[in-house]
Structures are given as C-alpha cells and as structure tokens.
Amino acid sequence: MIAIESLAHTYPTGQQIHFADATFTDNENWLILGDSGSGKSTLLNIMTGLLSPTSGKVILNQTDLYKLGNKLDRFRAQYMGIVFQKPYFIQSLTVSENLKLTQSLAGLKTNNHRILEVLEGLALADKKTSYTKDLSVGQLQRLSIARAILNRPAIIFADEPTASLDDRNTERVLELLINQAGKEKADLIVATHDKRVKDAITNIYLVNGGSQ
C-alpha cells in the first residue's frame, strides 16, 4: 500500500500544485490521469522519491519516504520498480550486467536464476549477453519492464509508457505491465495523458480535480 497526504510542490517559476490525498491499496492497478503538463510526472517523481515535495508525505508500507534520508535510494531499489518513458541503460554493459546492477543497488546478491527467469518471461533470454545499444525499441521497453520487476517490488510505476506508441504496441505494453504486476503481486501505477489506457485500467486518480 502507498498513500499520499497533503502533498504540494512548488516549481522554480513559483507555480504551486497541490495533490489530493489518496491511498493506493495492494494488488490494484491505477492510472494517474491528466492533461499534458498537468503535473502527472511531478506526482510520480514525488511518489518514487525522485523529487522532494514542498510539503506532505508519501508513505509506503508504513514508511515515510522523505524521512529515510540517505537510505532512500536503497529503499526505492528494494520496494519499487520504475518504467520510464524513455529507457535508460548503461550501454557499455550487457543486458544481464545491467540487471545485476539493479540487484546490487538494492543491496541484493547477484541472482542469475532470477535474471534468467525474468528475461524468459519477457522473451529476452536470447539477448542476455547483448549490449543494450544493440536492442530494438520494443526490446528496450521489455527490458525496462524486466528491470522494474526484477527485485519483486511492492509497487511498479510507469511514466507515460505508451506516449509514442501506436495502438497495437500500446496494447502490448499495457498487457505486459498488467500481467507482470499481477505475476509479482505488485501494485501498478501508470501516469499518462493517453486516454487509450483507460480501457485497460479502471482505477483513476485525477491530477486536476483530485481522485475519483
């Protein structure tokens, strides 16, 4: 379970945005929905501990993220999986080495069996020794999902994962995210302005106007 309480953020321009309180309960899929530029990514970055709010709390499994101090990075790596709009990997490392790094950042020992299990589940096992620079866009998207679920997170966040995709690939990515979250018994929270996603996920949190 993750909850947000009295959250607000002030941008460098002085503009302030407030977010309605909400609780995202276990084993549910949610959309953070709003127009482009409405603050969806800001909220997602606050919820993942990547951007400090001006005020308010983010509580995951009874832990206040912004009271963790220098333990926040490790906590994030252990309990959260994040799929960014554009996949970022270390190009000088292979697929397998990038995933080993994900385990290391969470303070876990290398688990080659788990890495292979995840890659097989996303049809990437044959790419484990490939460099990420040699992967297609679709393969990089699947690898992003693999990295997000690798450490069996309590919650998976995805920021505009379908923004540049056609209808067919949008459906495919959403199916992968929902299926993998279900398999790992993780919450799934997707921030998007893509109204096509509403057909796949019915729980909605509105950035402009609160939760519904």
Q: How far apart are CA 51 and CA 66, in angstroms?
A: 10
Over residues 172-193, the mean pLDDT reads 88
Instruction: Out of 71-75, 94-98, 144-148, 195-199, pick the least confident.
Output: 195-199
Q: Could you write out the DSSP letters of every residue in 79-121? A: HEEEE-SS----TTSBHHHHHHHHHHHTTPPP-HHHHHHHHHH
% of the chain beyond a pLDDT of 70: 98
pLDDT band at 163 (very low <50, low <70, confident <90, very high): confident
The overall average pLDDT reported for the chain is: 90
Please report, for the chain, the start and end positions of each structural domain, with discontinuous segments joined by +. Answer: 28-38+71-211
Q: How far apart are CA 90 and CA 49, in angstroms?
A: 22
Over residues 177-189, the mean pLDDT reads 90
pTM: 0.88
- Superfamily in which the 28-38+71-211 domain is placed by CATH: P-loop containing nucleotide triphosphate hydrolases (3.40.50.300)
